[in-house]
Amino acid sequence: MYDYVRMRLGTKKILLLAMLFGALGSCAELVANPTYQKKCAGCHGPNAEGKAVLMIKTTPLNQAAAKSDAELTYIIGNGIPKTKMKGFGGKLSAEQIPNLVSEIKVLK
Ligand code: HEC
């Protein structure tokens, strides 16, 4: 079966497909992270899609993927003034924040 697919598609395309699926897989990392579901999903949506409920308005989190690691680390640690986004510096461990940052960075 694999040989047949390889003959039809060529190795390069298989690699491309594998990369594509790899990238899609990583999209789910953030929303599969229990920390995200517990601490963030309430405002950012269970699929990081953003939310507009009463006082809470958030844009889809993939829009934040373009921000640098440092910016994201700062936002998650310190929050954004005058918004409902509060800092999680004292509430998350030293590993949890960088994990969230790298999971946001790979959102598409
Ligand atoms: C009480 C609601 C609330 C919770 C809980 C919350 N956020 Fe936010 N967050 C906001 C709001 C409001 C904004 C500003 C609007 C926006 O950028 O979507 C924001 C903005 C952000 C941004 C910047 C988005 C951008 O596009 O610039 C990031 C990154 C972020 N939050 C990550 C998180 C993470 C990670 C958690 C969980 C540890 C979390 N937030 C928990 C409400 C919340």
Closest alpha carbon to 87 in 67, 105, 73? 73
Strands 56-58 and 51-53, by their bridges, are antiparallel
Going by CATH, does the domain composed of 27-105 fall within 1.10.760.10? yes
Which atom of ligand 1 is the closest one to the Cα of 50? 18
Q: What are phi and psi of 54, to 5 degrees?
A: 50, -115
Q: Which pLDDT score, from 0 to 100, does residue 25 have?
A: 47
Q: What's the whole-number mean pLDDT along residues 3-28?
A: 57
Please give the model's pTM, rounded to 2 decimal places: 0.82
CA of 41: how far to CAs of 2, 13, 45, 52, 87, in Å? 40, 36, 5, 13, 15
Among 30, 31, 44, which is best to mutate for testing ligand 1, by the most ligand atoms less than 8 A from CB?
Answer: 44
In a 10 Å sphere around its CB, with 0-12 CB exposed, 13-18 middle and 19+ buried, how is residue 40 labelled?
Answer: buried
Per the CB < 8 A criterion, the answer to whether 29 and 21 are in contact is no
58 forms bridges with which residues in the sheet? 51
Structure confidence by residue, pLDDT tens digits, 54-64:
889 999 999 99
Taking residues 15-20, report their average pLDDT.
51
pLDDT at 37: 97
List the residue whose alpha carbon is closest to atom 34 of ligand 1. Answer: 40
